[in-house]
Structure 1
Amino acid sequence: MQLKIANFFIARTERLKMVGWDTALKRLDHADFFSRACGVLVTVYNREMKCLHAPVSFDHHYMAFRNDYAADRELIGQRYYSDRK
């Protein structure tokens, strides 16, 4: 079953500031934010539920742009995994 749902969440301002939003990320920003919010914000996460942008079959350039996660993966790898051996 597919549903259309608007993105939203409610948070207390002071707690939200403790997590912050990474404006450098463009495609994986939500996943990064909510994984860093774990333990700071009270959240519910269901791995089986995925929210995706609706594909625009007639606009291949846009879909290539939307599905390009390489830069975000590289940035996240540098930030969180660069010191691992």
Structure 2
Amino acid sequence: IKVVAMPLADPKAKNMIMVTSFNEWYEDTQIEPTSGKAKLPVSKDDSKSGNFFTEDNLYYDYGSLYLDILRSEFGQ
């Protein structure tokens, strides 16, 4: 972030950086927080089959990790 994004930030816009995320968990592109309660990765979902959405891939309950990383990197 500091090497790629920050040098391109416009000082006239107060160095604002925009993060685009479609929060599509099934494409692994989300940054929105998860519940943060699960201790182990899960591969089951709420579908009838139990794996329609996850396709048995492991998913980690990362809580607010990605938002925390952004906050830390940008010093807010």
TM-score of the superposed pair, with normalisation by structure 1? 0.24
Greater Cα radius of gyration, structure 1 or 2: 2
TM-score of the superposed pair, with normalisation by structure 2? 0.25
Q: Report the structure, 1 or 2, having the larger helix content.
A: 1
